[in-house]
Amino acid sequence: MIKKIPYGRQSIDEDEIAEVVKVLKSDFLTQGPKVSEFESNFAHAVGAKYAVAVSSGTAALHLSCLALELSAGSRVLTTPITFSATANCVQYCVGEVDFVDIDPSTYLMDLDLLEKKIKSKPSGYYTGIIIVDFTGLPVNTEKLNRIAAEHNIWIIEDACHAPGAGYKDSNDTEILCGSSTYSDLTCFSFHPVKHIACGEGGMITTNDENVYQKLKSLRTHGITKEDLSKSDGGWYYEMQDLGFNYRIPDINCALGISQLKKLKNNIEKRRQIANTYFNAFNDNDSIKLQTQPKDYQNAYHLFVIEVDNRKELYDFLLSKNILAQIHYIPVHLMPYYAKKGFKKGDFPLAENYYEKCISLPIFPTLSKAEQSYIIETISDFYK
């Protein structure tokens, strides 16, 4: 039997190991030059003015909320089909989370339902929106920005699935995820199964210098040594805000710098794998595929299909050493959020998607033989 095939896997080569070893032999393991180098390289890659590296994607989301001054009682809208951190970051700031149902063809937040929900409430009822580029497919942030601007609502883009993804706006301009062209901030994750593996890590991009300076302070306890009105000496610093220890080590950044160089090539491999799946399953009436809108470039962190007999297929694949996964259990159905009054039936499109979704293996080092085995196994199941 073929060896186990996970839904995602990092790829680390000798070049990256050598870069990490260099840092281990250097004077800095954390808060050193590799952090700013990674930030600069990443900002350039996605077309943003500023980037701030942090300890995780969750830290990126939390600091983004803090930098936008999310406070107790503020209401923020997000999608139920995401990892819980997207909603939890609002709770960390003692804000209130609400959800908007998904488009059943793209699995992204339905922006028409979003606008309808905002208009159903008094002016100023909602403070912010956190959208998710789920699977690596970008949200139309141009349309979202028009909605948000009309109601004075800020936007955080959770692009943890989508470095390297993008779409063409109404001016035929390429909008890269992370450019923050139409959003206030964009967040990324560098968890091992993501496009850029740092072990753990995250990044926030923005074009607002004031927000950028806030983020830098908040990731280090709210402490600064810059532009101080009083100084007793070189040791002097001030804690000006209540921040956190969300710093990322130079070790992780050295790995991230090397991984970033391979991003375009790795995304191309993901797209090739996705195209093979599309070609294999496009005519299978038992399998529904995610819609890929014209002029949108999916980064394919995930390849999701929908099937009626999901549990049986999942178990069958597992028995054949194919470790498919489910992304995601709707956040509003988690016991924590159920205690806040959310219940089954609140977001039926997201719930229906969850009952049928299954993520197939997709990562740059997935071999053609492994993918053929996956496709043949699924075809055998439906025979």
**Tokens at 335, concatenated:** 């016991």
Fold topology of 263-382: Aspartate Aminotransferase, domain 1 (3.90.1150)
**Tokens at 280, concatenated:** 């294999």
**Tokens at 86, concatenated:** 């997207």
**Tokens at 121, concatenated:** 């409430």
Would you call 195 exposed, middle or buried from its count of C-beta atoms within 10 A (0-12, 13-18, 19+)? buried
The span from the first CA to the last CA of the chain, in angstroms, equals 20
Residue 376 has a pLDDT of 97
CA distance 101 to 82: 12
Residue 180: left (phi > 0), alpha (psi -120 to 50), or beta?
Answer: left
CA distance 2 to 10: 19
CA distance 184 to 106: 23
The dihedral built from the CA positions of residue 45, 49, 52 and 58, taken in this order, carries a sign that is negative
The dihedral built from the CA positions of residue 328, 63, 213 and 145, taken in this order, carries a sign that is positive
Strands (E), the chain: 5-6, 50-54, 75-78, 96-99, 128-132, 154-158, 166-168, 174-176, 185-189, 202-206, 223-224, 238-239, 288-289, 296-297, 303-306, 322-323, 357-360
Average pLDDT for consecutive 10-residue bins of the chain (383 residues)?
Answer: 90 92 92 96 98 98 97 96 98 97 98 98 97 98 98 98 98 98 98 94 98 96 79 81 96 96 97 98 96 97 98 98 98 98 98 98 97 97 92
Domain spans, the chain: 5-261, 263-382
For β-strands 296-297 and 238-239, DSSP reports them as: unpaired
Residue 231 has a pLDDT of 61
For residue 161, the SS3 value is coil
5-261 to CATH, choices 3.40.50.720, 3.40.640.10, 3.10.28.10, 1.10.1750.10:
3.40.640.10
CA distance 193 to 276: 20
Would you call 271 exposed, middle or buried from its count of C-beta atoms within 10 A (0-12, 13-18, 19+)? middle
